[in-house]
């Protein structure tokens, strides 16, 4: 085994192991932003493994796509999760045992198949140009799949916006929508806020030396 091949092998193990660790941390953190970016880390590690396996374009494009997607994921999770930064320790799980068992079973089953099944040893030619081959495939035999993807994405865009948005320019006051907030805790005027000098907030109100 040459040095370069050894380095590549070690790198594959490091990234492979890293992807699993990062994936596990996704569900071990209370901060939604961290969870999303641990997932991104897992994707990046898998992308690097792909690069090392000669699927260079796919590995890089996975990183490119997921960086955007996971940032959006983080933004949405922060938007819709109570306590999004995990300031209060929390546990948002149910049917924990079932889930654990299912996870382990899925892992064991798939790993067993992976270890037992016989796969032919036909590695990809390092001199090949996988990006160009993918392009030819897309424009040639799989042209319909390619165009179908376009239609699917169009349907996704329209569907997503129709579901998520309100009719018309969303956000403008519309019939039936709530009036401006009358939140008892919202600032209503100067008197609503005790001056920091007197009130003190959670023990932080400053005092003079």
Partner 1 sequence: MELQLLLVVSAALFGIGVYGALSQQTFVMIMMGIELMLNGAMLAGVALWGVSGAGAPKGQLLIVIILTVMAVEAALGFALVIGIFRTRQADMTEMLDELQG
Partner 2 sequence: MGLLSAAAGRAEVPVFPVVGVGGRQAAEALWLMPGIRVVDSPRAAVLLVVVGRLTRALLHPTMLVHDQLPGPRATLWWPGAGGATPDDGAQGTEDLLAALPDVVTTVPGDTAGLLAVFADLLSGRRPSGRPALVDVEYPRWRGVGPHGHGGEGMMGGVPFGRPLAEMADDPDGLMLDQLPLRVGPFFPAWPPGLILDVGLQGDVLRGVAVGDNPYRSWPGDEPVGPLDTALFLATRTMATTVAALEVARARHHLRWLSRTLRGHGLAARAQRVGALAQSLSVDDRPVVEALARRLGRDAGLAAATSGVGIVDRAALERVGIDRYGGPVARAAGLGIDARTHDPAYADLGFAPVIHHEGDARARLRQRAAEAAQALSLAERAGEIVRPPGRPVEGPRGVLAPREPLPSSALLALLPDLLDGLEWGDAVTTVASLDLDLEEAALDQSVATWPARTSGGPTGASTTGAAPTSTGPAPTGPAPTSRVTP
Partner 3 sequence: MNWSAPLPGVVLVGTVLVAGAYVASVLDAGAARLVAGRPLRVGELVAGPWREAALLARIRRSTTERPDAQTWALAPALLAAMAGVAVATVPLAPGVAVADVDDGIVLFGAAMAVVMVGAFLHGWSSNSVFPLVGGYRFVALALSYEMPLALVLIAAALPAQSLSVGAIVESQQGLWNVVRQPLGLPLFLVAGMGLAFWGPLGMSDGADLAGGTGVEASGPDRLAWALARHFVLVAVAVMGAAVFLGGWQGPGLPGALWMAIKTLVLLAVVVGVGHRVARIRLERFVVVAWAVLIPLALVDVFASGALAL
Enumerate residues 152-191 that contact partner 3 by CB under 8 A: none
What minimum distance in Å lies between the beta carbon of 197 and partner 3?
19
Closer Cβ to partner 1, 9 or 197, answer by number: 9
Which residues does 37 contact at the CB level (< 8 Å), separation at least 6? 70, 74
Q: Are 15 and 42 in contact (CB under 8 A)?
A: no
- CA 32/CA 41 separation, integer angstroms: 14
How many residues touch partner 2 under the rule CB under 8 A: the total is 39
What minimum distance in Å lies between the beta carbon of 37 and partner 3?
7
**Binding residue for partner 1 (CB under 8 A) from 33, 41, 62, 63?**
62
DSSP letter string over 103-128? HHHHHHHHHHHHHHS-----PPPTTS
Interaction residues for partner 3, span 98-137 (CB under 8 A): 129, 131
Q: Should residue 174 be labelled a site residue for partner 2 when binding is judged by CB under 8 A?
A: yes
Q: Should residue 7 be labelled a site residue for partner 1 when binding is judged by CB under 8 A?
A: no
Q: Should residue 197 be labelled a site residue for partner 2 when binding is judged by CB under 8 A?
A: yes
Residue of 41, 37, 35 whose CA lies nearest to 83: 35
What minimum distance in Å lies between the beta carbon of 86 and partner 2?
9
Torsion angle of the four alpha carbons 8, 21, 113, 57, in this order, in degrees rounded to the nearest 10? -50
Q: Should residue 191 be labelled a site residue for partner 1 when binding is judged by CB under 8 A?
A: no
- CA 192/CA 177 separation, integer angstroms: 26
Residue of 48, 85, 89, 82 whose CA lies nearest to 66: 48
Q: Which does 193 bind (CB under 5 to 8 A by kind): partner 2, partner 3, partner 1, none?
A: partner 2
What minimum distance in Å lies between the beta carbon of 129 and partner 3?
7
Contact set with partner 2 (CB under 8 A):
79, 82-83, 87-91, 166, 170-174, 177-181, 183, 185-190, 192-193, 195-197, 201-204, 206-209
């Amino acid at each position: 085994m040459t040095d370069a091949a050894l380095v590549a092998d070690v790198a594959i193990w490091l990234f492979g192991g890293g992807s699993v660790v990062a994936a596990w941390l996704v569900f071990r953190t209370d901060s939604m932003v961290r969870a999303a970016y641990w997932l991104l880390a897992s994707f990046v590690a898998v992308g690097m493994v792909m690069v090392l396996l000669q699927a260079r374009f796919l590995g890089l494009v996975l990183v490119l796509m997921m960086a955007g997607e996971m940032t959006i994921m983080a933004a949405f999770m922060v938007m819709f999760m109570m306590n999004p930064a995990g300031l209060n320790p929390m546990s948002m799980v149910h049917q924990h045992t079932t889930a654990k068992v299912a996870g382990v079973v899925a892992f064991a089953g798939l790993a067993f198949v992976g270890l037992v099944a016989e796969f032919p040893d036909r590695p990809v030619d390092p001199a090949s140009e996988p990006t160009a081959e993918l392009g030819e495939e897309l424009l040639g035999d799989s042209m319909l799949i390619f165009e179908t993807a376009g239609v699917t994405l169009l349907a996704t865009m329209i569907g997503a916006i129709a579901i998520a948005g309100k009719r018309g320019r969303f956000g403008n006051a519309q019939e039936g929508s709530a009036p401006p907030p009358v939140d008892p805790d919202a600032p209503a005027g100067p008197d609503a806020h005790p001056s920091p000098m007197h009130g003190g907030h959670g023990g932080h109100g400053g005092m003079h030396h």
